Amino acid sequence: MNATIPANALKKKDFASDQDVRWCPGCGDYAILSGVQKAMAEVGAPPHQVAIVSGIGCSSRFPYYMGTYGFHSIHGRAPAIATGVKLANPELHVWVITGDGDGFSIGGNHMLHVLRRNVDLNIILFNNEIYGLTKGQYSPTTEIGHVTPSSPYGSIDQPVIPARFALGAGAGFVARGYDVAKELSALFVEAHAHQGASFVEVLQNCVVFNDGIFEEVANKKTGSDHHIWVKNGEPMIFGKAQDKGIRVSPKTGHLEVVALGDGITEDDLCRHDETNVERAWDLAHMEGGLTAFGVLYRVPGVAYDAAVRQQLADVKAQKGNLTMEELLRQGHTWDV
Amino acid sequence: MNATIPANALKKKDFASDQDVRWCPGCGDYAILSGVQKAMAEVGAPPHQVAIVSGIGCSSRFPYYMGTYGFHSIHGRAPAIATGVKLANPELHVWVITGDGDGFSIGGNHMLHVLRRNVDLNIILFNNEIYGLTKGQYSPTTEIGHVTPSSPYGSIDQPVIPARFALGAGAGFVARGYDVAKELSALFVEAHAHQGASFVEVLQNCVVFNDGIFEEVANKKTGSDHHIWVKNGEPMIFGKAQDKGIRVSPKTGHLEVVALGDGITEDDLCRHDETNVERAWDLAHMEGGLTAFGVLYRVPGVAYDAAVRQQLADVKAQKGNLTMEELLRQGHTWDV
Amino acid sequence: MTATDSNEASGEGQTVTREELDSVVIRFAGDSGDGMQLTGSQFGATSALMGNDLSTFPDYPAEIRAPAGTTYGVSGFQVHFASKDVRTPGDAPDVLVAMNPAALMVNLPQLKPHGVLVINTDAFTKANLKKAGYEANPLEDHSLDAYRLLAVDITKRTLEAVRPHGLSSKNGARCKNVWTLGLLYWLFDRDPAPTTQWLETKFKKKPDIAEANKAALRAGHIFAENTALPNGIHPYTVPKAELPKGTYRSIDGNTAAAYGVVMGAKLAGLPVMYGSYPITPASALLHHLAKLKHMDVTTFQAEDEIAAVCSAIGASFGGALGVTGTSGPGLALKTEAVGLAIGAELPLVIVDVQRGGPSTGLPTKTEQSDLLFAIYGRNGDAPLPVLAAATPGDCFHMAVEAVRIATQFMTPVILLTDGYLANGAEPWKIPDLDAYEPFPVTFQTETENFQPFAHDPETGIRRWVKAGTPGLMYRTGGLEKADGPGNISYDPDNHQAMTTMRADKIARVADSIPEAVIEQGEATGELVYVGWGSTHGAITQAVGQLLGEGHSVSHIHLRYMNPLPKGLERLLRGFKQVVVPEMNNGMLDKVLRAEFLIDAKGVNKVKGLPFQIHELVEDAYQRLGVNHEHSNVIAMGAE
Amino acid sequence: MTATDSNEASGEGQTVTREELDSVVIRFAGDSGDGMQLTGSQFGATSALMGNDLSTFPDYPAEIRAPAGTTYGVSGFQVHFASKDVRTPGDAPDVLVAMNPAALMVNLPQLKPHGVLVINTDAFTKANLKKAGYEANPLEDHSLDAYRLLAVDITKRTLEAVRPHGLSSKNGARCKNVWTLGLLYWLFDRDPAPTTQWLETKFKKKPDIAEANKAALRAGHIFAENTALPNGIHPYTVPKAELPKGTYRSIDGNTAAAYGVVMGAKLAGLPVMYGSYPITPASALLHHLAKLKHMDVTTFQAEDEIAAVCSAIGASFGGALGVTGTSGPGLALKTEAVGLAIGAELPLVIVDVQRGGPSTGLPTKTEQSDLLFAIYGRNGDAPLPVLAAATPGDCFHMAVEAVRIATQFMTPVILLTDGYLANGAEPWKIPDLDAYEPFPVTFQTETENFQPFAHDPETGIRRWVKAGTPGLMYRTGGLEKADGPGNISYDPDNHQAMTTMRADKIARVADSIPEAVIEQGEATGELVYVGWGSTHGAITQAVGQLLGEGHSVSHIHLRYMNPLPKGLERLLRGFKQVVVPEMNNGMLDKVLRAEFLIDAKGVNKVKGLPFQIHELVEDAYQRLGVNHEHSNVIAMGAE
Ligand SMILES: Cc1ncc(C[n+]2csc(CCOP(=O)(O)OP(=O)(O)O)c2C)c(N)n1
Ligand SMILES: Cc1ncc(C[n+]2csc(CCOP(=O)(O)OP(=O)(O)O)c2C)c(N)n1
Ligand code: SF4
Ligand code: SF4
Ligand SMILES: [Mg+2]
Ligand SMILES: [Mg+2]
């Protein structure tokens, strides 16, 4: 249920708590916090109808800074706790805040299951490709070869690609952004609007332990040549000069990056179709240093919690209320 | 390392233990057991160089029936234990036996991580779409609407598609078979040959709690019209009369089932390309009641355990052995 | 079986002289596929309906259907029914029904001397005998001469009976358990009508199967009536027991615990959110609750036990009653999250249906070996109340108590039951629900000076805030919280204060529970047995017997394990010997020793089986220095 | 700081009269970003090199870099260095270095009366004062008059010093901790050379930074030398301590435990497979071991603690030494799998670096609250040995012991350390490695009559079979196993026998460990403190002081928590009062009470901080009935 209050009645600051924000100066988490607060003000969910559940990690300190209900739980378990919150109180807009360690290392199983069940949660994965809070060990999204305290000779674990994992898990909404992107809060608004599990990966800079790994992609100057924001129904063009695009390779049938001109026009480019899961699969991990942002995949579906409520209502409608007395007396009884 | 002994020197029965098999009469597990034993004899791995690790479930009783090393561990954790076995003793061929509950409910996270790390394990998922051992509750692969003791009004959880999950996790070898298929043991031979994590889903009939759910697909009479065995490089033809096939839809770019004839010839059909992950994605879940069997996806890669050993060797080569005495005296020391 | 008197009873149209017994123990044993669990529970249900007191004990292998004919595939079900008070399924059976050689092999050693032995001769094939480990056929080598043998080709008789209903011989033979039930019904004067009804309901959609089974039941009954019974076997009857007046039903511990949770939630005025992951022997809690969607019960089958307990904690945060149930290995997985609920001061009910350990252990067998784990099994100083139910029916009441304490004290509570309670059934007088005092939860709604972690200065309890309440937005979690505002606090004194507060709060639960009492025997004396959980029946019967023999023995039974009830120390000090019978290797004795510095000793049985009465009686003889031979009055004569 | 004598020392070219002290405690405090951990550990390392005995204590917030200027962002590091035996980082600092108002606010209360206070005036801005909660500037309102204040604009001085090296003023200001170090080095007569060297190594790749820091160090040193020190502050010196002869290094508990595991594995003749998941304060175990790939150490950073322990168990099955390390919340997740290792009778070493609980608790603070969890924290009867290290260096030895017991007894072993041991450093005499008796593992290879679960009739221990050995293929797991063949067994008597065997085997570990001893004091007397783990230092110093004062106090320190060492009961009975100081709410006292029925009492501190010596001394006064005022000799004079 999306209880809303008149647009513009709520301001970003209505979603801030009275606690000092304790992230390192320069941490990408600040921008994401701001993006979420802005999105909440925009959708107009009153703060008391919002619950934010997180695990453990720098990113998972998030709820303390929101003037909403918040549960900074235990490592990796936020999706499971959030499921309980949503089942107990369907009126709440429930957000899950997690990190690449919290959500994909220890918490991978719960992530799988909320996505496949399609619980109506808005999940933001802060992907800084590192364990921040425990001081910089490599994470399941860290690139091979990374030297960290726990991989002094370079990590050898093949990283998981969160968006592909989400697709493989059967997610109905998969999006990606980056911490300082101006489009970020709009992405959260979309996630909020989606009924069912919305998975949003946000590339996030950890200034202390992994500074600059997304620099090329997220940098104001170079970024637009290394990323594309996809929009449903629109051709996939990008580049500072809007001179590059993505088309379906006539050879392989897969997405490939092409330069416009030289016989290739906008009409040759692929138009983004949010409901096309194979395209989303390609977009989730493009070759050649290109990163796709935006809603990569979105299909409507029945949210798990809605189905639960429906079933409760159906059984009640069909069988009526049962009293405790009746329950105990069901089946064989006898008098002495 | 694949220590082998002369072909035909080993027989299927060399891989049987002295324990009575305790599955229900008619259970699909018997056929899979036989398939594994046959495959092992074929590849000629001596029984003492094979270790089979399982979790908990009917399927997970498997190791007791093999005359190899076996570890019937705890629920969901077989991939993690198997990783340790392989790291400790790389000579061993390590197999993981798991069920849809064991491997995808409680054990989903470890499954994700052995697949993405590409640990050289051969993983067989016994998918009977039910929790057998605990007497018939629905599992993460159970279809929506199934009535079980824990879903008396029908289950409402969207099931996970194991092969898609495996692809999303970054697996390099994804295959599928069914319990009584004659091709099954050959599939295990392929899994064995693959360096890195091999994921084989086997549709398995549970005669007691989920009898007949794969009947249409696996039945001797009707099966060939409802399933296809894909072979690398070969056109995708199927049907008792070999009159149906799969092609790339000119409209959507996705795989679709077509009838041969009426202008559609074998040449129009898609040829299976094991290395094409998007095709594998499509094959993992075809519309219209068709189930694809065989090696859906296979790409070479570096096995995690091989990389670990390489790194150990590299550091040793580079730094030489370090004695305990030297270790303790590294850095600042002073004499009193 | 204890003979009392002879009387006349009328069989179908015919007058039969029946020997009156006041107590009979029957064990049904056969292959996992032989339907022994159904047979036994039908016999029990019928006996309950007929007014006997009873206790049942299912004992089955962990395999779903172990290979036919093997000893490890034997499934057993013991029924103890009587015209007097019954607290245990009985030590040794008076009657053993063995459907095959393996069942005989496994169970014969327990049969009473000269006991009744019902055997399906058809199953005594060479192959089956070999599988069971018999060198010779016991039906032929006189090795069973010491028993009263009723050997029948049950399969053949059953097939004859069901033939008119057109079943395949495979399906037809499946009715042999019901045929056997018919035979025993006649032998023990049971009314077949409830079973007939039950068959009709169960096979509503397969009328041919229903009819075949009904025919088998009748045929077994008629066979017994018309056959000359072997020497020493007469028709028997077991009169009604004198039970307190009321309406009764049969109940097992899992059903009772599930219903108790719902009752507790009603008293608290809360909806239930039960998050669980199936595990033997706790799965039935989920099955029962899943049926109660029309009683404000939501069930969530989670992906594992961690998600299960976490979903329950989330539900409590959202203002529902979060409940989770499991067995040992699952409890192990929940420990971290239970600590979170302690830190966040949220209500949570955890039902642990104990089974044999360590690790996977003996999944279908009973044990009490999670006690210390329940009390101490969390990182950090993480105290919580631990309760334990004593009988199947008591699971209802103790579940209500668990809900009361969890919601009133804002704490997780562990309720311990075990496999024996969970699966064992007893006739249960349906309690007067109006006698239960409601304990409605009043959520915090007051926004003025709101502090989410303000603790009542008297009780140390914080008010429950339902996420979603206007104006009370707050943040919580597993980090230490500042007393009052609840923000993260690393302050040393605050941590000390909060640790003390958490400990004191749990200690104060003792103020809200009944004081310790002597259940049987004098208030002071030579020996007191201090039991907890499902040893209740065996201790009660053993102490009853010992008291009858004039020994100075008493019985205290604990239902509140942490904190311990008030007055316990004083009671214990009234006895020269304090002895703790437990189905574990020694746990409650440790607790009592540490708490009271009393030299409590254990009687420990770790066999996956409940205590037998004689085991405790003999233990008492030894401790009391009673001459064993002399006093051995426990072997109840079969004739 | 305890003055002893005055002597002459020579500063750079100049002769200085230095007051000789035998012990000084300095606390460095500043923002998380101020580099206080580095400063403190450099000071400690230098003092160690100079022959002092010392003990250090880092105390930092859980946030990586909490916002500048806040009180909860204050990071502290205390160094206690002396010419005599030092066992704790000291109660109250003699010297407080406060880099900003928040550091002053948080730490001033602990500074000794009339202590030395070094302050960076630059940080005392209006904004910072407000953030720290000061209404007025303490530098101006005479509130610091009771201390010996050395207020310097450190930032400005540092910037001046580093200017020639072309750093931005942001980067330049970062050197202010090193400038401060220079100042203190002069004040306490420390040799700057080791730090200069260290800077060169650390910033090898950034020579400008290295040079800037070196310049700052020099500048601080010169500043102190050339400045007229305020009233009451003289140059000091702390002579070498008399330490046993040998080669020394500085070691913290995590390094020692990591190296001890490797040492144990060498003695056992096994490769190490360390499976772990990072968690504060245990992560450094993984970091250290990950560097030792050339010492037959494989490390596996698992996806969670469950996978971590499972990988270690798998490794043991495969014939390597499976080891895992974690802290409380991680131990909680490992419990189920530890039970498996018990059931499968496989060696496994688990290092638990305890931290503040419950739940996430106080992740960077120390506590001893996992003791009962370690002993009892598993479903079923699942006993295992529990060890505890007493000092950072002792972690080495106890890790060796853990490996020995795990491999010799085929059992998981839990080694308890804590955050204080893990992070605290002490000078450590490198042990004579040849003095360690090897305990080589001999794997089973004999195929004749092979039974994987054959137990030595004397010891109850099974032989380790390395998966991969020809002819010994066997199956194991978590279900109960038949004694001998190891096949699944639901047999009641077998379960009883196996449960007893498992318990007896662990009990017999007591035969292989040192008997209990009195560490300090007489063998009988009025009061004995029974400590375990990191309380060792505080108890030792406190008992030392009390003995010096002539009180009847003794000290027993336990390193083996389960089973307890032999002879302990006899020792305890020699005292009127048995008192257990613990950084938890009362755990070991429960164990002693249950075991020996001795009225052990607890002194409990749950503040995330180690005991201070005076806390224990005062506790003893009270218990001994000593007049407190009179005996209060603990406030060591600053002058
Ligand atoms: C059970 C448990 N295991 C381990 C930890 C330690 N831990 C805390 S946060 C964290 C990883 C955080 O990484 P990520 O989720 O990426 O968050 P970030 O700090 O990078 O935002 C770990 C390993 C813990 N708190 N609890
Ligand atoms: C920690 C834990 N939780 C739950 C269980 C109970 N349990 C045993 S097997 C099983 C599910 C088995 O399902 P699956 O893996 O599909 O195996 P199947 O029996 O169908 O072959 C469950 C829930 C357990 N043994 N341990
Ligand atoms: S350590 Fe990294 S992720 Fe954590 S707060 Fe600092 S910059 Fe952000
Ligand atoms: S319950 Fe099902 S899966 Fe299990 S052994 Fe029986 S038939 Fe097989
Ligand atoms: Mg991260
Ligand atoms: Mg299954």
DSSP code per residue over A11-69: -GGGGB-SSPP-SPTT-THHHHHHHHHHHHHHHT--GGGEEEEE-SSSGGGGGGGBSSE
Query: Among residues of chain D, what percentage have pLDDT more than 90?
Result: 87
Tokens for D478?
Answer: 């978590």
CA angle at C70 for the pair C68 and C74, rounded to the nearest 5°: 85
C528 with C363: CB under 8 angstroms?
A: no
- Compare CB distances from B278 to A112, A278, A314 and report the shortest one's residue: A278
| Mean pLDDT calculated for residue range A320-330 | 95
Does the beta-carbon distance from C67 to B131 stay under 8 Å?
no
D118 with D108: CB under 8 angstroms?
A: no
What is the set of domains in chain C, with CATH numbers?
Answer: 3-237 (3.40.920.10), 247-513 (3.40.50.970), 525-624 (3.40.50.920)
Number of C-alpha atoms within 13 angstroms, CB side, residue C236? Answer: 27
Q: How far does the centroid of ligand 1 lie from the alpha carbon of residue A130, in Å?
A: 10
pLDDT 10s digits, A223-282: 999 999 999 999 999 999 999 999 998 887 789 999 999 899 999 999 999 999 989 999
C301: chain B residues, CB-CB within 8 Å? 137-138, 150-151, 157
Residues with pLDDT less than 70, chain B: 1-8
Write the CB contacts of C389 (distance below 8 Å, at least 6 apart in sequence): C253, C256, C257, C395, C397, C398, C399, C415, C416, C417, C421, C533, C534, C559
Tell me: pLDDT of A68 over 60: yes
- Compare CB distances from C65 to B24, B74, B149 and report the shortest one's residue: B24
Task: Please choose, from the candidates C251, B110, B154, C378, the residue with its C-alpha nearest in 3D space to the C-alpha of residue D306.
Answer: B110
pLDDT 10s digits, C413-472: 999 999 999 999 899 999 999 999 999 999 999 999 999 999 999 999 999 999 999 999
Q: What is residue A8's predicted lDDT score, i.e. its pLDDT?
A: 61
The residue nearest atom 1 of ligand 4, judged by CA position, is: B132
Whether A101 lines ligand 1, by a CB cut-off of 6 Å, is: yes
- Measure the CA–CA gap between D537 and D517, rounded to whole angstroms: 17
Q: Looking at the CA of A135, name the nearest ligand.
A: 3
Does the beta-carbon distance from C333 to D331 stay under 8 Å?
no
- Residue listed under structure tokens 């005995």: D53
Does the beta-carbon distance from B332 to D45 stay under 8 Å?
yes
Q: What is residue D64's predicted lDDT score, i.e. its pLDDT?
A: 79
Burial D318-349 (b: 16+ CB within 10 A, else e): bbbbbbbbbbbbbbbbbbbbbbbbbbbbbbbb
Q: Does C291 touch chain B (CB under 8 A)?
A: yes
Q: What is residue D166's predicted lDDT score, i.e. its pLDDT?
A: 84
How many other β-carbons are positioned within 10 Å of the β-carbon of residue C303? 31
CA C40 to chain centre: 16
CA distance D144 to chain B (A): 39
CA distance C591 to chain D (A): 7
Query: What is the position in ligand 4's atom list of the atom closest to the CA of B28?
Result: 8
The residue nearest atom 2 of ligand 4, judged by CA position, is: B206
Write the CB contacts of A335 (distance below 8 Å, at least 6 apart in sequence): C245, C246, C247, C248
Mutate to test the interface with B, among D191, D274, D293 (most CBs of B within 10 A): D293
Cα dihedral C428, C434, C435, C439 sign: positive
D72 with D43: CB under 8 angstroms?
A: no
Q: Running DSSP on this structure, what letter comes out for residue D611?
A: P
Q: Does D303 touch chain A (CB under 8 A)?
A: yes
- Residue listed under structure tokens 């490769």: D271
- For residue C483, give Cα distances in angstroms to C464, D60, D363, D365: 15, 21, 18, 18
Lowest pLDDT segment from A49-53, A156-160, B124-128, D17-21: D17-21
Q: What is residue D1's predicted lDDT score, i.e. its pLDDT?
A: 52
- For residue A65, give Cα distances in angstroms to C469, C487, C563, D227, D470: 19, 11, 38, 47, 61
Whether A208 lines ligand 3, by a CB cut-off of 6 Å, is: yes
pLDDT 10s digits, C179-221: 999 999 999 999 999 999 999 999 999 999 999 999 999 999 9
Q: Does D293 touch chain A (CB under 8 A)?
A: yes
Tokens for B53?
Answer: 């690790």
SS3 C412: strand
Does the beta-carbon distance from D430 to B333 stay under 8 Å?
yes
Q: Running DSSP on this structure, what letter comes out for residue D603?
A: E
The letter for the amino acid at C490 is Y
Q: What is residue C150's predicted lDDT score, i.e. its pLDDT?
A: 94
A179 with A28: CB under 8 angstroms?
A: yes
Task: Please choose, from the candidates C37, C79, C27, the residue with its C-alpha nearest in 3D space to the C-alpha of residue C56.
Answer: C79
CA distance B302 to chain C (A): 31
B46: chain D residues, CB-CB within 8 Å? 470
Phi, psi of C217 (to 5 degrees): -60, -50
pLDDT 10s digits, A119-138: 999 999 999 999 999 999 99
Residues with pLDDT less than 70, chain C: 1-15, 628-639
- Compare CB distances from C49 to A19, A46, A332 and report the shortest one's residue: A332
CA angle at C24 for the pair C22 and C27, rounded to the nearest 5°: 170
User: Residue C276: closest CA among chain B residues belongs to which residue?
Assistant: B150
Tokens for A36?
Answer: 């979420």
- Measure the CA–CA gap between B89 and B69, rounded to whole angstroms: 12
Q: How far does the centroid of ligand 6 lie from the alpha carbon of residue D304, in Å?
A: 24
What is the set of domains in chain B, with CATH numbers?
Answer: 12-213 (3.40.50.970)
Q: How far does the centroid of ligand 1 lie from the alpha carbon of residue C404, in Å?
A: 35
Q: Does C340 touch chain A (CB under 8 A)?
A: yes
Tokens for D341?
Answer: 């290792």
- Measure the CA–CA gap between D303 and B119, rounded to whole angstroms: 13
Write the CB contacts of D49 (distance below 8 Å, at least 6 apart in sequence): B332, B334, D191, D194
- Measure the CA–CA gap between B98 and D342, rounded to whole angstroms: 22
- Measure the CA–CA gap between C212 and C179, rounded to whole angstroms: 10
Chains with 3+ CB–CB pairs under 8 A to C are: A, B, D
- Compare CB distances from B74 to C286, C299, C329 and report the shortest one's residue: C329
Q: Does C421 touch chain A (CB under 8 A)?
A: no
Q: How far does the centroid of ligand 1 lie from the alpha carbon of residue C300, in Å?
A: 27
Interface pTM, i.e. ipTM? 0.95
What dihedral angle (degrees, nearest 10) is formed by the CA atoms of D177, D182, D188, D193?
A: 120
- For residue B249, give Cα distances in angstroms to A61, B253, B256: 48, 5, 6
D550: left (phi over 0), alpha (psi -120 to 50) or beta: left
User: Residue B151: closest CA among chain C residues belongs to which residue?
Assistant: C290
Q: What is residue B165's predicted lDDT score, i.e. its pLDDT?
A: 98
Q: For strand D74-82 and strand D15-31, is the pairing parallel, antiparallel, or unpaired?
A: antiparallel
Phi, psi of C107 (to 5 degrees): -105, -20
Phi, psi of C139 (to 5 degrees): -70, -15
- Measure the CA–CA gap between A91 and D306, rounded to whole angstroms: 35
Residues with pLDDT less than 70, chain D: 1-15, 628-639
Q: Running DSSP on this structure, what letter comes out for residue A160?
A: P
Query: Among residues of chain D, what percentage have pLDDT more than 70?
Result: 96
- Measure the CA–CA gap between C173 and C184, rounded to whole angstroms: 18
C529 with C579: CB under 8 angstroms?
A: yes
- Measure the CA–CA gap between D9 and D189, rounded to whole angstroms: 8
Q: How far does the centroid of ligand 4 lie from the alpha carbon of residue B23, in Å?
A: 6
Q: Looking at the CA of A129, name the nearest ligand.
A: 5
pTM of the model: 0.94
Q: Looking at the CA of B29, name the nearest ligand.
A: 4
How many other β-carbons are positioned within 10 Å of the β-carbon of residue D539? 28
Confidence of residue A109 (pLDDT cuts 50, 70, 90): very high
Q: For strand A122-127 and strand A69-72, is the pairing parallel, antiparallel, or unpaired?
A: unpaired
Quote the mean pLDDT of chain C. 93
- Measure the CA–CA gap between B10 and B17, rounded to whole angstroms: 14
Task: Please choose, from the candidates A260, A198, A261, A264, the residue with its C-alpha nearest in 3D space to the C-alpha of residue A228.
Answer: A260
Does the beta-carbon distance from A58 to D329 stay under 8 Å?
no
Q: What is residue B6's predicted lDDT score, i.e. its pLDDT?
A: 57
